[in-house]
Amino acid sequence: MNPAVQALITIALGVSGCVGYFYFSNLVLDKFIFPARGTNAGRNINRANMVRPWLFLLPALLALGFYLAYPVFETFRLSLSERLPGGGSRFVGLKNYDRMLDEPKFWEAIKNNMLWLVVVPAASTALGLLVAQLTDRIRWGSIAKSMIFMPMAISFVGASVIFKLIYDTRPVDQDQIGVLNALWLKFDGGWGSTLMLRIVPVVLIVIFVVAALWFAWSLVRPVFSSREKSGGVLLSAVRLSIGVVALWLTWVSVGGIQSVLGTELTYGAPATWLTIKFYNNFFLMVVLVWIQTGFAMVILSAALRGIPEETIEAAIVDGANPFQIFFKIKVPQIMGTILVVWTTITITVLKVFDIVFAMTNGQWETQVLANYMYDKLFRAFDWGVGSAAAMVIMLLVSPILVWNVYNARKEMK
């Protein structure tokens, strides 16, 4: 059958089903259960109006119950049970989790996910903020913005295909088509290479560390000082744990600087980028940052525009330079928005699946949790461990989830 015809039939059926349901259920309510006549007409109208919203929400409630609530609990149950040979399942306690913890691939996925979690939201938010700030000042800023936002319209898979071309490798004796290799072959080991491949990365890492430490310090400081209020115990714990993460990041970065300065680079030979262990994770992250920056940019640029002019003018009168205005006047005022952007991207990162699936499929130590789960569920058909992995994702997401729900409730009240 023609797809268009089929689609039309689906829509007609669906819509007429909905309308029919709404119409007839109302009819029944008004005419038979609480008829608006006789001695109790007024009371009946009121009662009917109290019941009515539930009639409209019933399909939605049923659908949500079936497809949202039940599956969450079912996944939890499956993660605690085991398939029996003849069909059916049996409760086995934490055995699935035990098996999962024994697998090196799982730990690899956790490690990589942590890496993604730190790098991608930070990079996307920082780049988005940078672009939002810079494009506000120039005439063709809106064009630049619309170009940078464009990757948001492309699917993750499409973006992965594009970047596969960029990372593409061909044999040594042929011309390189991959953009990265074409650039790479331009380096010959001279001073230019030293500058671009050693000094610039080290400077970038140092900037990252300083930014991370500054950010963490500004969060941790209230816990120790008696003047500022640090909030409750829970908040202090969150602040301290962010501080610990920052210290860990510093440690990792120092190792990174060492390896950047220490590795022998094979100039003149094309590299297969996606198979270089550890660093290939970053090549995959570049794809997600490429997509998500547009989102961060749009939201942050709106927030930047919302800053009252007076505060900036006052700072200029006081003799602040552009950097001080940006970091001390603008950033603190949009901190709330930055956090929202950050957490939104964090959730996206925790569920990242398409990119890894399309580019490496978890080979060469690039596994992430969502892809690990997919592997277990739909390739190994081991739904015990797969569900356990799903619960781990849920566990990692839930702090942000709760925070988001809390905020959304507050905002929409």
Partner 1 sequence: MADTTTNTALSGPRGPKPRKRLSRGNIILYSTLFVVCVYYILPLWVMVMTSLKGMPEIRMGNIFAPPVDIEFQPWVKAWAEACTGLNCDGLSRGFGNSVRILIPSVILSIAVASVNGYALINWRFKGSDVFFTILIFGSFIPYQVMLYPIVILLREAGIYGTLWGLVLVHTVFGMPILTLLFRNYFSSIPEELFKAARVDGAGFWGIYFRIMLPMSLPIFVVAIILQVTGIWNDFLFGVVFTKPDLYPMTVQLNNIVNSVQGVKEYNVNMAATLLTGLVPLIVYFVSGKLFVRGIAAGAVKG
Could you say which residues in the range 257-276 bind partner 1, by CB under 8 A?
none
φ/ψ bin of 362: left (φ > 0), alpha (ψ from -120 to 50), beta (otherwise): left
Which range binds partner 1 by CB under 8 A, 131-139, 199-207, 214-222, 307-315?
131-139
Q: 287 to each of 19, 160, 163, 290, how far by Cα in Å?
A: 44, 7, 7, 5
Under 8 Å between Cβ of 297 and 148: yes
Which is nearer to partner 1, 280 or 348 (by Cβ)?
A: 348
Candidate ranges 34-42, 193-201, 206-214, 292-300; the one touching partner 1 (CB under 8 A):
292-300
Residue 78 backbone dihedrals phi, psi, to 5 degrees: -60, -35
33 is a site residue for partner 1 (CB under 8 A) = no
List the one residue from 357, 362, 366, 368 that touches partner 1 (CB under 8 A).
357
Residue 196 lies near partner 1 (rule: CB under 8 A): no
**Which region among 18-26, 221-229, 234-242, 255-263 touches partner 1 (by CB under 8 A)?**
18-26
CA torsion sign for 211, 213, 214, 220 is positive
Tokens 């570049």 label which residue? 286
How does 190-221 read in b/e, with b if 16+ C-beta sit within 10 Å? eeeeeeebbeeebeebeebbeebbeebeebbe
Check residue 320 for interaction with partner 1 (CB under 8 A). Answer: no
Instruction: Map the footprint of partner 1 across residues 165-184, applying CB under 8 A.
Output: 165-166, 168, 174-179, 182
- The whole-angstrom separation of Cα 290 and Cα 155 is 12
Among residue numbers 64 through 93, which ones bind partner 1 (CB under 8 A)? 64, 66-72, 74-75, 78
In whole angstroms, the minimum distance from the beta carbon of 138 to partner 1 comes to: 7
Bridge partners (DSSP) listed for residue 89: 83
Does 99 engage in binding with partner 1 (CB under 8 A)?
no
Q: Is 24 in the site for partner 1 (CB under 8 A)?
A: no
Retrieve residue 367's tokens: 């596994």
73 versus 191: smaller Cβ distance to partner 1: 73
Tokens of 53: 């919203």
Least distance (Å) between residue 221 CB and partner 1: 30
Other C-beta atoms within 10 Å of 128: how many? 25
Q: Which of residues 378-397 bind partner 1 (CB under 8 A)?
A: 378, 383, 386-387, 390-391, 393-394, 397
